[in-house]
Amino acid sequence: MLFQYVTYMVRRYKGKIAYWDVINEIFDGNGNVIHDFWWTHLGKVDNYFGKIFQWAHNEDPNVGLFYNDYSND
């Protein structure tokens, strides 16, 4: 389900936008991973992040991909 969503959205807007906010606020204020639905179903954080970034990159290798979080650098 997540794969289909990511690939659909990136494909739909390919060439129309320059940057994607691929993952947003997955850490709590203490730097711990929030164990949400996707964490539970996709596994540890490196697989979760890596998969989503790779799927987006595969659909549009020219778009900038970013992680966004209010309280982390």
pLDDT 10s digits, 60-70: 999 999 988 87
- pLDDT at res. 46: 62
The domain segmentation of the chain, as residue ranges, is 2-68
pLDDT at 36 over 90: no
Q: DSSP for the chain? A: -HHHHHHHHHHHHTTT-SEEEEEE--B-TTSPBP--HHHHHH-SHHHHHHHHHHHHHHH-TTSEEEEE-TT--
Mean pLDDT rounded to a whole number for the chain: 86
- pLDDT at res. 5: 92
pLDDT 10s digits, 1-30: 889 999 999 999 999 999 999 888 888 888
